[in-house]
Amino acid sequence: MAMGFCDQIWADVAPLRQAILAHPFLTALADGTLPRDSFQHYIVQDSLYLAEYARTLAIAAARAPSAAGRLEFSDGAKVAVQVEEALHQAFFAQFGVSATTAQGAEPTPSCLGYTSYLASLAATRSYEELVAGILPCFWVYWEVGCAIKPRAVSPNPYAPWIETYADPGFGAATDRVRALVDEAAAATTPAVRDAMARAFRNATRYEWMFWDSAWRLESWPV
């Protein structure tokens, strides 16, 4: 049988996935040597990311043609807010991020680029492109969680993060979103499928940039 659409776009971004798995932010996170300031930068930015990502998921839920899609994306929006509330609040306490720092933080160029890109798909592109842009957030984190877990030192200060994304329940959610993207691809034209592949690739690039920006402690140049 021919390769499914998601298998194809996943294979197309293999070099980006290799770059992600080899990124020093993630190798250091696994061996427990990630500098504290890089992780603080990451969790503060990720809180900002999650809030915007949840909004994008809610738009996908509103636009989904099937009940399965509406349920999956509205549930995803809820989980994104809950992850933000729970995992991040716990990390803020553990890593000494004050409420004032978290509340006053502004998104970096990479964070704002990623969330604005997803919002642009939601506002001006097809449902098909939107869900293709949403998928790397799930799938890349699932791959990273599974790859890091067996390599992680124990004890590791970042263990709850690794456990969250290597959790089989999270793998099952990734499978369901992937099935929705395959369904959308099967029902559309080759031109829209090309646009979906581009949205998927761009979002995967932003996933790499997000970790790289935390590693470099990115800020606005002016």
Ligand X SMILES: Cc1ncc(C[n+]2csc(CCO)c2C)c(N)n1
Q: Which is nearer to ligand X, 79 or 102 (CB)?
A: 79
Smallest gap from residue 43 Cβ to ligand X (A): 9
Q: Counting contacts by CB under 6 A, is residue 50 touching ligand X?
A: yes
Q: Which is nearer to ligand X, 127 or 210 (CB)?
A: 210
Among 5, 39, 61, 76, binds ligand X (CB under 6 A): 76
Tell me the site size for ligand X, rule CB under 6 A. Answer: 13
Among 21, 28, 79, 102, binds ligand X (CB under 6 A): 79
Q: Which of 206, 23, 214, 20 is nearest to 105 (CA)?
A: 214
Q: Where do the H-state alpha helices sit in the chain?
A: 5-12, 14-21, 24-31, 36-63, 67-83, 89-94, 99-104, 109-124, 127-148, 159-166, 168-186, 190-215
Q: Which is nearer to ligand X, 157 or 188 (CB)?
A: 157
Smallest gap from residue 52 Cβ to ligand X (A): 10
The pairs formed by 47-52 with CB atoms below 8 angstroms and a separation of 24 or more are 47/84, 47/88, 47/102, 47/105, 48/105, 48/106, 48/107, 48/111, 48/115, 49/107, 49/111, 49/114, 49/115, 49/210, 50/80, 50/81, 50/83, 50/84, 50/88, 51/81, 51/84, 52/115, 52/118, 52/119
Q: Which is nearer to ligand X, 46 or 143 (CB)?
A: 46
Among 49, 92, 127, 200, binds ligand X (CB under 6 A): 49
Smallest gap from residue 141 Cβ to ligand X (A): 4
What is the contact mask toward ligand X in residues 101 to 140, using x (rule: CB under 6 A)?
------------------------------------xx--
Dihedral, 53, 78, 44, 116 alpha carbons, nearest 10: 10
Q: How far is CA 78 from CA 49, 58, 112, 124, in A?
A: 14, 9, 21, 24
Q: Which is nearer to ligand X, 53 or 127 (CB)?
A: 53
Smallest gap from residue 207 Cβ to ligand X (A): 6
Q: Which stretch binds ligand X (CB under 6 A): 7-15, 42-50, 98-106, 183-191?
A: 42-50
Q: Which residues bind ligand X (CB under 6 A)?
A: 46, 49-50, 53, 76, 79-80, 83, 137-138, 141, 207, 210
